């Protein structure tokens, strides 16, 4: 289980911003370069679990689309869902 208290891994919003700023073009490129980025997980799909929006959203969508996705997941599972810590600011 990731240790978010020590901020080893980024919150989903921060991860989204950094991946987009790095202009990663596909998941294969992500897996080649993630080790060079502090806080990027080797398997973000597993880390962010129910909150994982998919590679297309992470790589190519606007931030407001991510916010809509997070809100929908929080409505479905509740704001106190066991994985909600990965989305909180």
Instruction: Please check whether residue 12 is in contact with residue 70, taking contact to mean a CB–CB distance below 8 angstroms.
Output: yes
d(CA 69, CA 49): 13
57 within 8 A of 18, measured Cβ to Cβ: no
Q: What is the pLDDT along the chain (89 residues), one digit of tens a residue?
A: 444 444 589 999 999 999 999 999 999 999 999 999 999 999 999 999 889 999 999 999 898 999 999 888 888 877 666 555 565 55
Domain regions of the chain by residue span: 4-86
Q: What's this model's pTM, rounded to 2 decimal places?
A: 0.80
C-beta separation of 7 from 39 below 8 A: yes
Reference 53, options 31, 21, 24, 86; nearest CA is 86
Using CA atoms, how far apart are residues 61 and 52, in angstroms rounded to an integer?
Answer: 13
């Amino acid at each position: 289980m990731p240790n978010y208290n020590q901020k080893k891994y980024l919150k989903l919003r921060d991860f989204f911003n950094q991946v987009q700023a790095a202009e990663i073009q596909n998941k294969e490129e992500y897996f080649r370069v993630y080790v060079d980025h502090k806080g990027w997980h080797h398997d973000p799909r597993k880390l962010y679990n129910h909150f994982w929006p998919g590679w297309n959203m992470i790589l190519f969508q606007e931030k407001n689309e991510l916010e809509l996705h997070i809100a929908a997941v929080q409505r479905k599972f509740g704001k106190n869902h066991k994985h909600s810590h990965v989305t909180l600011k």
